[in-house]
Structure 1
Amino acid sequence: MEKSVMVVGIDDSDHSFYALEWTLQHFFSASPENSPFKIVVVHAKPSALATVGLAGPGAADVLPYVDMDLKKIAARVIEKAKEICAAKSVSFAFLQFDIAEIYR
């Protein structure tokens, strides 16, 4: 029998990590392997341009640094989600995408 899929979207806020922990506690804690659900954790990395919100002569110089910082934040989000799921012995699928890719 195919399991239903539960999707949890997270960012780098404490609220989203709490939501992930709450979901795991209430739907996966008793026996993760016998859970009626699979879980997919989604993280959408904002684009540097949307984060900076400026255009003009200096924007091109700043954007690579902002993008590098956003990638570091995304890596931390992924690691923390992995730690939370591992603590509950829940395996998960992780989907990460760049918001800018949606609009292309």
Structure 2
Amino acid sequence: MATTTEKQVMIVAIDDSEHSYYALEWTLEHFFTPFGSNSPFQLVVVHAKPSPTAAVGIAGPGAAEILPLVDADLKRIAARVLEKAKQICISKGVNDVILEVGDGDARNVLCEAVEKHNASILALGNHGYGAIKRAVLGSVSDYCAHHAHCSVMIVKRPKIKH
């Protein structure tokens, strides 16, 4: 009796930062073979598009006119980010990739994507914020490491020594 083995899912989080593009490139180089299907993983690249109100941080009179413009801009950014991710994958010889945009806070979008795809690994870059900035902004990687129902790999860029 022949059985087919379904590939495990690896999610790579991507935003419009060099840290996330580096994490994608590093993941492709270490887990995926160019132009082959030898990898045990199905790659899913996820971008979290913030809500217009979260991006602008305003409410009240005048917001109704601004929010559609902000939303259109956020959609253009998301399309650009995913197109760049697609081009990185193609340049590394990985063509079997699923590209997704999730709406909302990155922490929630990534944990929901892990559940949706039953992912085995979530890979994301590290912005390298200090303790104070992390305390104010929160750390997506820290949140995901504690709340995602899979292994979380935080890819750090090597420090440049002078």
- Report the TM-score range of the alignment, normalised by the length of the smaller protein: 0.7 to 0.9
- Partner of residue 74, structure 1: 78
Of the two structures, which has the highest relative contact order with CA contacts closer than 8 Å and spacing of 6 or more? 1
- Partner of residue 99, structure 1: 104
Q: C-alpha separation between the residues in 2 aligned to 1:30 and 1:12? A: 24
Aligned alpha-carbon RMSD (Å):
1.7
Q: Work out whether residues 34 and 93 of structure 2, in 8 Å CA contact, stay in contact via their aligned partners in 1.
A: no
> How much has 1:13 moved relative to structure 2?
1.0
Identity of aligned residues (%): 62
TM-score by length of 1: 0.88
SS in 2 for 1:33: coil
Gaps of 5+ in 1: none
Deviation sequence 1:31-77 (CA, Å, 0-9, x none):
64211111111111111011011111111111111111111100101
TM-score by length of 2: 0.58
- Partner of residue 33, structure 1: 37
Runs of 4+ residues over 6 Å off in structure 1: none
| 1:77-88 matches, cutoff 5 A | 77-88=81-92
Q: C-alpha separation between the residues in 2 aligned to 1:47 and 1:28? A: 33
- Partner of residue 10, structure 2: 6
Q: C-alpha separation between the residues in 2 aligned to 1:63 and 1:83? A: 30
Residues 17 and 53 (structure 1), Cα distance of their counterparts in 2 relative to 1, 3 Å cut = same
Give yes or no for the alignment of 1:19 onto 2:23: yes
> How much has 1:29 moved relative to structure 2?
3.6
Q: C-alpha separation between the residues in 1 aligned to 2:35 and 2:88? A: 16
Equivalent residue for 1:89, pick from 88, 93, 114: 93
Gaps of 5+ in 2: 109-162
Equivalent residue for 1:49, pick from 46, 53, 58: 53
SS in 2 for 1:57: coil
